[in-house]
Amino acid sequence: MSSATTVIGNLTRDPEIRYTREGQASSTFGLAVTRRWQPRGSDTWEEATSFFDVVCWRDLAENVALSLAKGMRVVVSGRLEQHAWETDEGDRRSRVEIVADDVGPSLRFATAEVLRAERREEASRDVAGIAEDSDKAACAAGTEAVAVEA
């Protein structure tokens, strides 16, 4: 069974970036995915919203943290992971999160300008003299800057 998925939704909170002890970047954000349908023989529309936590790692995590904000519509491709635990009261809980392989802006209701990120080895040579321009600094850090206009 494959757990690969692609979802389109809106960020419910700004991405939060953290670093492991080994220096690996990890970024998380909430995603609301709304589905609309019209039942047969009905004039009314129904909808249901699902909420997911999305986890990104390494360069993707840094790019997401620098490029996205709450409310933006994005396309997320990745795999589903379920986590289960038991509370102190003995209740069983579980949640499903998406471990992202790729994240990008949805262009259905917006436009975007994509800037290619430099590779890390190139950036480490150039990072000292580029800090005055934020777009160049983002590229020098090995991240990708994306400007989205609604």
For 90-126, the pLDDT digits (tens) are 999 988 899 999 999 999 888 888 888 776 655 444 4
pTM assigned to the model: 0.71
> Which contacts of 106-112 are long-range, i.e. CB under 8 A and separated by 24 or more positions?
106/8, 106/73, 106/74, 106/75, 108/73, 109/73, 109/150, 110/72, 110/73, 110/148, 110/149, 110/150, 111/148, 111/149, 112/146, 112/147, 112/148, 112/149
- Domains, the chain: 4-35+46-149 (2.40.50.140)
